[in-house]
Structure formats: structure tokens, C-alpha cells
Amino acid sequence: MFSDGRWRWGPAPADARLELCQACARINDNYPAGMVTLTGPFVVAHKDEMIRIARNQEQAEKPEHPLNRILSIEQPAPDRLVIATTDIHLPRRIGEVIKRAYRGTMDVHFDEHGYFVRINWHRDK
């Protein structure tokens, strides 16, 4: 429901006009606003933990920010995880928690002309 200038969880008023929120539209269109790419041999051994961290960050954000959701989690190679999100804030939060937990290197790239962020994290061992 859209109320007081922002999207919120909760029942819509009886006279509300039905609208698809931006997160739902991005999910329907498979059009992410953020990508977290985790690479390196370390990912192979810790994949489940990293996915759990990403899901925990999503759950921490969702009650207050319903547009901050994970769109998909894919593993295109054994040493690579790609997490797509519906906003630009959740990827950074996921990347920072993973970097704090496992060290490694992290780069953040914001699109200068649009609403998109790419987080790249890597650890060899």
C-alpha cells in the first residue's frame, strides 16, 4: 500500500486504487536495480552461508522498506554467486556484511545516468 508518500506493508483502504509497486514491477520484468557478484574459490566453500547472509539482510530491510527485495540468486559458475535486487541500497548492505564477515575485496559501482548499483566482492582463499 502507498501511504504518506511511501510504500508500506499492510491492508489497503477499501477505496484504494490497485497499483503495482516498483519492486513487484521489477520482479515481473526481471529488471534488477542492483547486482551483487561474489567471486573466488572462497565462494565454493561458503555459498550457503553467503546466501543466508543475503536473505537475512533482505528480511531485516523488508519490514521498513518493502521495495528492498532480492529478485534472484544465481550461480552461473561454481566460484560465482550473483544476487539481483529490486533497489540500490540492499546490494551495498549485503556486500558490506559479507566483507565484514569474510574480508576480501569489494568494489561499488553506481550508474551515473540511472538507478543501478553493482557490487563486486572477491576472495581467493
28-65 pLDDT per residue, tens: 999 999 999 999 999 999 999 999 999 999 999 988 88
- CA gap 66, 108 in Å, rounded: 23
Measure Cα distances from 71 to 17, 28, 45, 53 in Å: 25, 9, 23, 15
Hey, which residues does 3 pair with through a beta bridge?
Answer: 6
Determine the pLDDT at residue 23: 87
Query: Which position has the higher pLDDT, 109 or 23?
Result: 109
C-alpha distance across the termini of the chain, in Å:
45
Q: Cα 71 to chain center, whole Å?
A: 7
State which H helix or E strand residue 74 sits in. strand 70-77
11-27 pLDDT per residue, tens: 777 777 777 888 888 99
State which H helix or E strand residue 82 sits in. strand 80-85
Who contacts 111 (Cβ-Cβ below 8 Å, separation ≥6)?
Answer: 117, 118
Confidence of residue 69 (pLDDT cuts 50, 70, 90): very high
**C-alpha cell recorded at residue 43:** 565462494
Within 13 Å, how many C-alpha atoms sit on residue 82's CB side?
9
Task: Name the pTM for this structure.
Answer: 0.89
